[in-house]
Chain A
Amino acid sequence: MATLFDKIWEAHRLARNAAGDELIYIDRHLVHEVSSPQAFTAMAEAGRGLRSLARHVAVQDHNVPTTADRLVHIASPESAAQIEALRRNTRATGMRLLDLDDPRQGIVHVVAPEQGWILPGSTVACGDSHTATLGALGALACGVGTSEVEHLMSTQSLWMQKPRTLGIAIEGALGPGVYAKDLALAVIHRIGTGGGVGQAIEYHGAAVRALSIEARLTLCNMTIEAGSRFGLVAPDATTVAYLRDRVKGAAHEHFEAAVRAWKDLFTDRPGDYDRREQMDASTVVPSATWGTSPADSAALTGRVADGMRTDDETERKRIAAAMAYMGLEPGQAMASVPIDIAFIGSCTNARIEDLRAAAGVLRGRHIASGVRGLVVPGSTQVKQAAEAEGLAQVFVDAGFEWRESGCSMCIGMNGDSVAPGLRCASTSNRNFENRQGPGGRTHLLSPASVAASALRGRLTDPRELMA
């Protein structure tokens, strides 16, 4: 009897050393321009090359400007140099690159599932902590540092300690206006930012089964915000249907055999998890963070620091510091918090369903004066699909800027950032101090909630604007 995690892990385990670490074969390595240059340099200096060229693919994402002229002009010389370094390194090694002008370019965690690269039962690594996103397809996907990027390029494998497993059963159903992002915030609120450390989280139960793949990607994306490197969902008919039209090459050719193999990819019994948690999706409501940790969230109809009254002095001091940074008072109504910027984007929430949800709230309306709205699609394909469906026009008519794809204001490396003291309602995944720019204040919420907040000019429950 085994968990889904155990089954995939065992199938990829090559060795175990005296110290108890296990050598795991990595089927797919995704590369981007930020965490790779030093790895390429070190690999070249060591006189080594790629062990298995066909198992790597590179995408430009963190640094790419979202302006229309980005192919001819990149304002930051450092960003331009890093983008150029990935071009040089992929040319030298023969690694495939989705460059700025590639019709498939976008955020690596959006592009990889979109292109059918991530398959159930596979192992995936990338030098980015949000690689956990890809576990939504029933893969073991985790973020690694640059030394491990080099290790992977040279050996196609990683030494890892096998994590314990945490099964989070989510029963019930999400109500109207409540999305996977709200569920992710609820999970982190429940188990804490360190709650998943040393554990792989499998999301299961009726509410998870009911989620689309895009929603599962959102849920797994924020697993790292709960301290866990791996989030995953067992493959099912939804997974197979998503992949059928996307896989290419050998995966397309052998698709039916693959589907038969995937039927064994489930956790045999809930008792097989090392630890179990239960949640009821019907109790989840549209929420947003108020603090500087992703666990600091409350209902949009609730109050700042709701439920965070504590006798723990360290925690009281932490909340006081978060309030000072965020410019808020404990007990203040969430709906009284004004916003300056509305950002829809990032590997958490920049897929087509996210844009549909936001556009659904915005259609026929205009954002509040003084609010800057920014939509950054997760990939060039998402952008084109949104334009074809008329969503782009909805955003533009509502007063949003419609941009090219990339990581953008999630991390603020590409020129899009939140200025000191400004407050951003953001669909991204981190509200850490200075994350979106020095002194910037970030509230995390779903695309529909960001849209509703942009319309009112303050944090708003989208259900108030849904007919």
Chain B
Amino acid sequence: MRKRSVSSVQGQAAVLNRDDIDTDALFPGRFLRLTERSGMGRHLLADWRAEGRAEAGFMQRAEPPRLLLGARNFGCGSSREQAVWALADYGVQAVLALSFGDIFRNNCVRNDIVAATLAPDDHAALLAALAASPQAELRLDVPTRTLSLPGDLDLPIALAEGHAEELLSAEDPIARTLHFSDALRAYEARVRSGQPWLASID
């Protein structure tokens, strides 16, 4: 996958105001048997849609919302990156929440999705604004860490350390790491001489 530079996200938001939405809900386990990474959006929230859950109703809209608003501990559970591939494939470019599962949040940034947290008061303000105006167009700006709503309401958002830089960068992370080949080699030499038991899985 080619890395993009992401500096802003603009569009409508869907609300998933429920704590502990796990990656099993976002992407049910039985679809993990697929070996591709494209086209995963069709399995996003598959069980919730099958059950006719109100939270998944946004997927019936003609246009996918660009932003999702979760609550506490969004994306907890499994490390499955398919949950994030499904969001990206469906068209989501940013997830906002009170907090995230750590692995999910990292998977987001690896796939050019902004995963930003809001303070509780701002989260409540955003919920109220979206309840009053579900079609509101939001704009999330990465460099300034700001979420702008119609009517001049600007809310501060927070990103994990390093995520803003990674989003703004267009450089492939593996290529970036390979700039550190000297440090990698130095560690390996140190292990060979000082901790030979760590050098291989025997």
Number of A-B contacts defined by CB within 8 Å: 208
Contact A23 B35 (CB under 8 A): no
Is A426 part of the binding interface, using a Cβ–Cβ cutoff of 8 Å? no
| Interface 0/1 of A65-89, CB less than 8 Å to B | 0000000000010110110010000
A52-B188, A145-B80 in contact; A151/B173 too (CB < 8 A)?
A: yes
B162 touches A157 (CB 8 A): no
Which residues 312-327 in A have Cβ within 8 Å of B in the complex? 314-315, 318
Residues A28 and B201 in contact in the complex (CB < 8 Å), given A46-B174, A435-B24: yes
A410-467, CB < 8 A from B: 411-413, 430, 432-435, 438
Set of chain A residues within 8 Å of B20, measured between Cβ atoms = 193-194, 293, 318
With the chains together, A82 CA to B32 CA distance in Å?
A: 9
Q: Give min CB distance, B178 to chain A, whole Å.
A: 6
- Rounded to whole Å, the gap between the CB of A346 and the closest CB of chain B is 13
- Residues 130-164 of A, flagged 1 when their CB comes within 8 A of B and 0 if not, give 00000000000001111110110011110101010
Contact partner, A14, options B50, B71, B111, B184, Cβ 8 Å: B184
Q: Chain A residues near B145 (CB, 8 Å)?
A: none
CB distance from A59 to the nearest CB of B (A): 11
Q: How many angstroms between the C-alpha atoms of A194 and B84 in the bound complex?
A: 19
Contact with A along B102-119 (1 / 0, CB 8 A): 110011001100000000
Q: Which of A249-257, A271-279, A381-389, A395-403 contacts B (4 or more CB under 8 A)?
A: A249-257
Interface residues on A, range: 35 or more
Identify which of B32, B84, B183 gathers the most chain A CB atoms within 10 Å of its CB. Answer: B32
Q: Do B196 and A15 have beta carbons less than 8 Å apart? A: no
Contact (Cβ within 8 A) B103 A250: no
Interface size class of B (residues with CB under 8 A): 35 or more
Chain B residues 166-200 with CB under 8 Å of chain A are 166, 172-174, 177-178, 180, 183-184, 186-188, 191, 195-200
Give complex CA distance A94, B102 in Å.
32
Contact B201 A54, beta carbon cutoff 8 Å: yes
A155 contacts B102, C-beta separation under 8 Å: no
Task: Indicate if the CB atoms of B29 and A129 lie closer than 8 Å.
Answer: no
Task: Give the residues in chain A near B177, CB-CB below 8 Å.
Answer: 23, 151, 154-155, 157, 159
Q: Is the CB of B201 within 8 A of A57?
A: yes
Known: A128-B79, A194-B76, A249-B200. A314 touches B24 (CB 8 A): no
A323 smallest CB distance to B (angstroms): 15
List the B residue with the shortest CB-CB distance to A163: B102
What is the CB-to-nearest-CB distance from B58 to chain A, in angstroms, rounded to a whole number? 18
**Mask for B97-140, Cβ within 8 A of A = 1, else 0?**
00111110011001100000000000000000000000000000
Residues of A within 8 A of B110 (CB): 145, 147-148
Contacts of B101 on A, CB cut-off 8 Å? Answer: 197, 227
21 of the cross-chain contacts (CB-CB < 8 Å) are A18-B165, A19-B166, A35-B80, A38-B36, A56-B201, A127-B79, A147-B1, A154-B177, A155-B174, A155-B178, A157-B180, A159-B162, A194-B99, A197-B101, A228-B102, A254-B197, A255-B197, A261-B195, A314-B19, A435-B29, A438-B47
